[in-house]
Amino acid sequence: MRKKFFTTASIMGAMAVFLGAFGTHLLKKLVPANIFEAYETAIRYQFYHCFAILFIGFLYQKFRVKQFVWAGHCFVIGVIFFCGSLYALTIISAGKSDKIDALGAITPLGGIFLLAGWVLMLIGVLKARY
């Protein structure tokens, strides 16, 4: 399981760098400032949770507490929903489409998964025997 978390964190980190560069060099010119601000938030949250997933891999390697596995999965799902919806919102906005209402509903769901990941990590830390 830890190898999956390390691999996922590595891929997410590389994607965050790529998407950050793509946004700065291309999208920033095409979308309003408030939309680009949301895109930057997505990049930042993806990086934060990339490191959280990496840390989960180390915690699980040492303590083998199932809450760490669930936390890692919640982080991944949260990044996909939260960050993914903000990325899609930005790209759709660059194409001047008005079909963005459904994406706005997905973002909070991703936030709930991210929050659940942190709570599960806390529970895992409290259950771990040092």
Residue 112 to residue 40: CA distance in whole angstroms: 19
Total structural domains in the chain?
A: 1
- What's 98's domain CATH number? 1.20.120
Residue 107 to residue 8: CA distance in whole angstroms: 21
Q: How far is CA 103 from the centre of its chain?
A: 15
Residue 77 to residue 36: CA distance in whole angstroms: 22
Determine the average pLDDT of the residues in 2-28.
95
> Which pLDDT tens digit goes with each residue over 23-66?
999 999 999 999 999 999 999 999 999 999 999 999 999 999 99
Q: 119: domain range?
A: 2-127
